[in-house]
Amino acid sequence: MRMLINVPETVVADALRGMAAAHPELTVDIENRVIVRRDAPVAGKVALVSGGGSGHEPLHGGFVGPGMLSAACPGEVFTSPVPDQMVRAAAAVDGGAGVLFVVKNYTGDVLNFDMAAELAEDEGIQVAKVLVNDDVAVTDSLYTAGRRGTGATLFVEKIAGAAADEGRPLEQVEAIARRVNDRSRSFGVALGACTTPAKGSPTFDLPAGELELGIGIHGEPGRERRPMMTSGEIAEAAVDAVLPDLDPSNPVLVLVNGMGATPLLELYGFNAEVQRVLGERGVAVARTLVGNYVTSLDMAGASVTLCEIDEELLGLWDAPVRTPGLRWGM
């Protein structure tokens, strides 16, 4: 095992120490595993809280800041944070206008955020929840009931975060988040497995010359294995898997997301093929984001997320954002 770590047991705490040193605009509670905007709580502003297992960086801690999340709760690698973390985060950022929990559809995350919502409401904090379930590859899996939550999490957190920063009430912010999720679909492909620090070896066996179509962000199996395909062929498979759930007459946001080990040279080349396929299918592209945003440790591969966009959602997407993992307009 060759990793830039000390020991597996401290990998999350060490990363949080490094994050705190690099980003003084954040308050990083290393012991309790909570990352909070330095300006929180903001009186009268809806707060957004999300979280999940570590290993998907910059999701979620890297999306804390103006224009996105108010706080994030990192769990152990590929392991849900616990309700106490979520309640602490909610209490730290509640400015009296309520808190929106953004939850990826994985069983542990769903159960723990549900419990945290009940505990937070017992403390007088108004809570709403939005479940992200955009992955078309698998319905029901080892980790979830229903579709998995993947790349659309970024779209939900960015667009709902902008709505919250505009001062919109909780009901509106929740409705916008649900609208983004309902209009978003994703599909991923693995060219190689990831390696967790605790295991020290690949999470699954992918023979040389093969790829896995429809993988999740924890190394879960996908739809099928095939012999290695070209970038253009993979783009066609991904886009054609996503489009049946969307209205192709609407323009889309495009996220071409790296899974952690795929270099930007390949991701931009893959994006060129995704854009080609969308053009051939008659789909207009409003905005495109390329890079490593919702990762799976050191997995080689990529995912494609499309979101049907309208004028209101596009304005919120374009709104300024300043976080460690995403920033423009400020």
**Active site residue ranges:** 56, 218
Peptide bond into 23 cis (omega under 30): no
d(Cα 273, Cα 279) in Å, to the nearest integer? 10
For the packed helices 83-93 and 107-122, what is the interaxial angle rounded to 10 degrees?
50
Q: If 0-12 CB within 10 Å is exposed, 13-18 middle and 19+ buried, where does residue 200 land? A: exposed
Q: If 0-12 CB within 10 Å is exposed, 13-18 middle and 19+ buried, where does residue 6 land? A: exposed
For the packed helices 170-182 and 152-165, what is the interaxial angle rounded to 10 degrees?
160
Residue positions counted in the chain:
330
Pairing of strands 285-291, 252-258: parallel
Contacts of 218 (CB under 8 A, 6+ apart): 53, 78, 106, 143, 203, 296
What DSSP assignment string belongs to 299-312? BEEEEEEEEE--HH
Structure tokens belonging to residue 237: 């498979």
Strand order in the sheet with 300-308: 224-227, 210-213, 184-192, 300-308, 252-258, 285-291
d(Cα 83, Cα 81) in Å, to the nearest integer? 7
Evaluate whether 183 touches 248 at the Cβ level (below 8 Å).
Answer: no
Place of tokens 């106490």: 84
